[in-house]
Amino acid sequence: MKLSKIILAESTKVTNLEGLTFDLIMSMFREKPMFGFNLPNPDDSSTSIQDENDLENWKAGIEKKYGNVNIKIDSEAAARWEKFQVLDDKFRADKKAYTAGKAAWLDKERAAGRTTGLD
């Protein structure tokens, strides 16, 4: 096996929600960022994960709405929002719909000549 394949295998992993643990995350990243890991929410926000309790709370919310979905962890992703991805069509559709709604609202505010502080 080539060294590049070994390194790739260590930097990217797909697991189901039940298999996602704080120990697994720490083994992939080796150190926790000062403000924790940012895991995605369907409303285009993220949840900061500092410990196992935070992770379990995030997992409970995702599992309640989407089930035991697959999670992709990519410790080498350039952008922080790409380091954790929920690989579920319904989750992605919900996130896309929320983002589209937010964009439509911003466009409406701009057309009315109002600024929202979000630009």
pLDDT tens digits, the chain, 119 residues: what are they?
A: 444 444 445 789 999 999 999 999 999 998 888 999 999 999 989 999 999 999 999 999 999 999 999 999 999 999 988 999 999 999 999 999 999 998 898 888 888 888 766 65
In a domain, residue 116? The reply is no
Q: How many domains does the chain have?
A: 1
What is the secondary structure of the chain as a DSSP string?
Answer: --HHHHHHHHHEEEEEGGG--HHHHHHHHSS--TT-EEEE-TTS-EEEE-SHHHHHHHHHHHHHHH-S-EEEEETT-SSGGGSEEEE-HHHHHHHHHHHHHHHHHHHHHHHTT---S--
Whether residue 89 is contained in a domain is answered as yes
Look up the pTM and report it: 0.80
